[in-house]
Amino acid sequence: MSIKILATLLMTVWVTTASAYGWEDGDPLTLSGDGDEAKVEYELSCDEQRVRNPSMTDEEYSDFLLEFQDSECARVFKVGDIGFGGGRVFYTTDGGRHGVEIAPDHHTTVEYGCVNVGLEGARDKSLGAGASNTDVALENDCVSYYGGTSIFDVLRDYDAGEVKDWYIPSMGELEEIYKVLGPYLVTEKGDAHPSFPQYFWSSSEDDKYWMSALNLTTGQKARANKNVKLSVLLIRNF
């Protein structure tokens, strides 16, 4: 009888200890000893390691996510998945560790700006050129022709996913978005100013007056004067 009681007490102590340390949930634990003392170390899961440190700026968090995707804890994405910024992934590289996602929302009735300003370094229409095209335009400090909202005002303020590394897609990137994700529904209507909300700005300039644009609902290509109002769907790398 005493043996049964002792066994029951030992089992109760073990279960209580296991529950206290989370062993029954399968959490990884490392047991180590230093001299006469032993300690239990909890190993952070990949999801916990990915959590943003409150001290990080948006730029630092963007860099952290890029580096994290090169670690053994990298998330593997496929086209159509939701990326770190909250939008759908439309292009992947490195087996899904890296790629490009669209923003989770778009902006309408936005001028491009840079009217009569030649952006000769921003005329690349290829897939992958959007970031460099955008950088060239930002260096010119372009503003709205009519004093309203330009595409660069939207870009500077946009922080979906708590990151600030969004940029304007090239024409090739817009075409890839339409090709792999399908028609993008736009319900907004144009205003009194020449406005075409179904058409989206690219960062690919044709000349100092015109930009390449794409209707993301129908796939129709267009040339748009920089002072008309179109929509913009930003993208980012991960």
Q: Where are the domains of the chain?
A: 107-237
What are the percentages of helix, strand and coil residues in the chain, rounded to 5?
Answer: 30, 25, 45
pTM of the model as a whole: 0.79
pLDDT digits 0-9 by tens, 90-122 = 999 999 999 999 999 999 999 999 999 999 899
Rounded CA-CA distance 69/64 in Å is 9
Question: Cβ contacts of residue 36 below 8 Å, gap of 6+?
Answer: none
pLDDT band at residue 31 under the 50/70/90 scheme: very low
Length of the chain in terms of residues written: 238
Q: What is the pLDDT of residue 58?
A: 86
Identify whether the C-beta of residue 41 lies closer than 8 Å to the C-beta of residue 29.
yes
pLDDT digits 0-9 by tens, 50-59 = 899 999 998 8
Q: What is the pLDDT of residue 39?
A: 61
pLDDT digits 0-9 by tens, 4-24 = 433 443 334 333 444 444 444
Q: What is the pLDDT of residue 191?
A: 73
